[in-house]
Structure 1
Amino acid sequence: MTLIAQTIRGNVPIIIGDIVFSSKNGSIEKPYPGSLNSIHEHLTNLAFKPDDYFQKIYVLTPNLCIGLAGDEIEMKSILKELRIKVRYYDQLTFEILNTLLNSYIQENEFSGSKFIACLITKTNDEFVVSTSIYPADSWKEASSELFQEIRATGSGASEFISSVQKNYYYQTSPSIGNLTDALRVNLTMLTSIFTEQVLTLNNLKNFWGGGFEMIYFDNNTWRKFEEFAYVIFTGEVGTDGQLHLPYPSMVFHYKYHGEILIYSCIRIHKVKVESNENSIVYFAEECHDNAYAVPPLDVKSPFPEKDYKFSFNTNSVACGFFIDNPYGEPFRPSAHVEGDVINVTFNVNDSLAITIDNRLLRSFADSLKSFNDKE
């Protein structure tokens, strides 16, 4: 059970897939990214439990990507077939693509699975986005203020669309072009979903989430978003109505090492805070980190389990906040801004430091006032 999805903003398509594969053969002992505490009690009575981790979205050619959900054997088979067949065509058209897909479905077992294929072609100096989904009645479609189109399938489809349609507070740097804008909005949207999942674990009931990949078209080729970090903060509003200093609770980091996605999850239990007029630095005094190798369906991970963990230092960060609010609903803003506004530095078995610009926290404090005024 899983999730694959597509969003379109400013005519820019983004393909999203989660990383957890659940099955009846899964185990409550399987490490699960995205929870602050033990999840045993949440999993015990579920029909499906986390079983493995693998990638569900793929770049097949510079102008074609695909997302898969469902039965592992069926997914591997169609992926292998398409990797071979699409190489035969110098100019792959949408008509040819649909012929290949329909032919495969008619000749092979695919009743337990679903796919999305997105092809980009160029006509009169304009890019044309063509999307094929199967089976059509298994896909849920919607729109929102942020996205012209949203479609999703898998066990998490309804919950994903509901999350994307929510009007949430977010902040990004001024965007140059539709592509940058679409990427930033999708990243803040995923941050909002991460925040919800970490604190409620509602996604476990529908067997999806845990982590996400994202594919985008950069005006030349489809690419996977290669490295990123999410930081989840928790905090509260005081009786004076002011936002108290929030604290980081969890860091997610992903980066591709060759074809293998290494997904790190760091739970923060105790921090020391240092501040100056420009920034706040959180040093983790107690934390627990896990790392997960997430290979493609058709590639075996070359990393022994003990070698999953990698140090990292990145400014490519989004942050999400869950603020307990006595004046209304919890406040859940998110942000992705360029430059040195947020930095995460992690050294395996040594240290974790998170630096955040004071101006970002002040902007959220101002947004909180507007949020409560509307409640």
Structure 2
Amino acid sequence: MSLIASTFAEQSPFLIGELLFSSKDGNKDFLLPTHAETGESVADLKPQDLAQKIFILKDNVCVALAGLESEMKALLDHLRDSFRFYDIVTRDSVHTMLHSFDLDNQFKHSAFIILVMEKDEAGNFFGGKFTSNSNWIEIEHPTFASVVAGGRGARDFINHLQQPATYASTFEDDLLKSRLTANIIMLSQWITTEKVTGRNLENLWGGGYEIIFFDGERFAKFPEIAFVVFETKIDPDGTMQRMHPSVINYYKYQGDLLLIYSFQLFRGSIEEKEGRLQMIAEAGDYESHLFFVPPFDTPAGTLLEVPSNHSFETRHVAAGMCIWYENSDTFRPGAYMEANEVGLKFTENGKLEVSMSLEVHNSVEENARAQIK
């Protein structure tokens, strides 16, 4: 099993799943959206594919799966077939569905998390969580509240959350956005860690992440978002060079299919303009790939539609930053930015533009200096 996790703060549940599938027939040189090295095999397993492993089954029910593909598919099929007969799914009905499935024999080597949201008599939502009989790690966290994680990546995931960190948000007056921001920042930090260290890939988990959140009425996936890894160096005297994007992953759903536009940047121009850092790369300044990430149970041979236009623009950017010190230590903060704080644009002629407010850049620089001992 790789990694599935949930954070559950009051009535703001989140479900997290990574994308990497491994098998004995995989390839240790498998290309990832982060362009990270996959390392050696684990128990004769090697990276094979990217696929979605978290699903919205009803407006108020979602599931994350990990483990053996055949077992995952059997349970997913059972849940989907069962839910067809329910207009409203409750915790009791989920319990009944799970009880009617032979988990002991048909789900021996896999794991699941199911989240359910119900309304009380006053119309307020309250949540429930179901997990398989697996080896889960559970903690309470000041930002993420109740956290549960399972799979090969569970210990790394929990250890990361237990490190001292501040998950600041510009949406403090909006509880959902504030908590969504914290979860997205966490994922941006993992993508950055994967790119600069590949540590998570040593246990064959990562490659990209999905998140399901409850928007106050129903479960949803983020329709489109960019994860941008910025890197730079800082001298012992605190002089920091301008941060530059090294890897960009733009996520967009096309129906049930997740598209990931991946860019590894080698060079480009950076200039200050109207209170922003404008970074421009032309065709030839980067290597790009388009990854098709279907649900894991998509039938073999299914034709995947290739977009006719690959241009995009977004104001939803999760920035993971890696500031390198002279002794090779790193400072890796994260930020989620919208609207005027950031921008990402790619045009059909190959021009790639990334912008960041100087205020955000200068804040990171100030915090990076504070880490110098």
TM-score (norm 2): 0.92
The aligned counterpart of 1:335 is 335
Answer whether contact 1:143 1:165 (CA < 8 A) is retained: no
The aligned counterpart of 1:2 is 2
Question: If each structure's helix is expressed as a fraction of its own residues, which one has the higher value?
Answer: 1
Structure 1 position 325 matched with structure 2 position 325: yes
**1:159-308 correspondence to structure 2 within 5 Å:** 159-168=156-165, 170-285=167-282, 286-300=285-299, 302-303=303-304
Letter in 1 for 2:294: P
**1:26-175 correspondence to structure 2 within 5 Å:** 26-36=26-36, 39=37, 42-43=39-40, 47-106=44-103, 109-123=106-120, 124-135=122-133, 137-168=134-165, 170-175=167-172
CA distance in 1, matches of 2:48, 2:309: 20
Moved more, 191-200 or 236-245: 236-245
Secondary structure of the 1:143 match is strand
Secondary structure of the 2:117 match is strand
CA drift of 1:10 comes to 4.5
Secondary structure of the 1:88 match is coil
CA drift of 1:121 comes to 0.5
CA drift of 1:81 comes to 1.4
Answer whether contact 1:253 1:264 (CA < 8 A) is retained: yes
Answer whether contact 2:223 2:253 (CA < 8 A) is retained: yes
CA drift of 1:125 comes to 3.1
Deviations along 1:219-271, whole A, 9 cap, x unmatched? 11111111100110111112321322111100011110011011122101111
The aligned counterpart of 1:17 is 17
Letter in 1 for 2:186: M
CA distance in 2, matches of 1:214, 1:331: 25
Secondary structure of the 2:186 match is helix
Quote the sequence identity (%): 31
Answer whether contact 2:263 2:287 (CA < 8 A) is retained: yes
Answer whether contact 2:264 2:288 (CA < 8 A) is retained: yes
Query: For the structure 1 residues 35 and 97, does the alpha-carbon distance in structure 2 shift closer, same or farther, using more than 3 Å as the test?
Result: same
Moved more, 217-226 or 2-11: 2-11
Moved more, 273-282 or 196-205: 273-282
CA distance in 2, matches of 1:307, 1:89: 35
Letter in 2 for 1:303: L
Secondary structure of the 2:295 match is coil
Secondary structure of the 1:194 match is helix
CA distance in 2, matches of 1:107, 1:331: 45
CA drift of 1:115 comes to 0.6
Query: For the structure 1 residues 45 and 145, does the alpha-carbon distance in structure 2 shift closer, same or farther, using more than 3 Å as the test?
Result: closer
CA distance in 2, matches of 1:51, 1:64: 29
CA distance in 2, matches of 1:160, 1:169: 16
Answer whether contact 2:315 2:337 (CA < 8 A) is retained: no
CA drift of 1:365 comes to 1.9
Deviations along 1:149-181, whole A, 9 cap, x unmatched? 111111111111111222235543233332111
Query: For the structure 1 residues 234 and 153, does the alpha-carbon distance in structure 2 shift closer, same or farther, using more than 3 Å as the test?
Result: same
Answer whether contact 1:262 1:308 (CA < 8 A) is retained: no
Structure 1 position 361 matched with structure 2 position 358: no
Answer whether contact 1:170 1:333 (CA < 8 A) is retained: no
Secondary structure of the 2:267 match is strand
Letter in 1 for 2:201: L
CA distance in 1, matches of 2:321, 2:150: 27
CA distance in 2, matches of 1:275, 1:327: 29
Letter in 1 for 2:169: T
Letter in 2 for 1:132: F
Answer whether contact 2:42 2:203 (CA < 8 A) is retained: no
CA drift of 1:310 comes to 2.8
Letter in 1 for 2:286: C
CA distance in 2, matches of 1:106, 1:359: 52
CA drift of 1:348 comes to 4.9
Moved more, 1-10 or 204-213: 1-10
CA distance in 1, matches of 2:56, 2:215: 13
Gaps of 5+ in 1: none
Secondary structure of the 2:82 match is helix
CA drift of 1:346 comes to 1.6
Secondary structure of the 1:129 match is strand
Secondary structure of the 2:340 match is coil
CA distance in 1, matches of 2:193, 2:320: 9
Answer whether contact 2:42 2:204 (CA < 8 A) is retained: no
Secondary structure of the 2:101 match is helix
Query: For the structure 1 residues 44 and 67, does the alpha-carbon distance in structure 2 shift closer, same or farther, using more than 3 Å as the test?
Result: closer
Answer whether contact 1:173 1:336 (CA < 8 A) is retained: no
Count of aligned pairs = 368
Secondary structure of the 1:240 match is coil
Answer whether contact 1:281 1:353 (CA < 8 A) is retained: yes
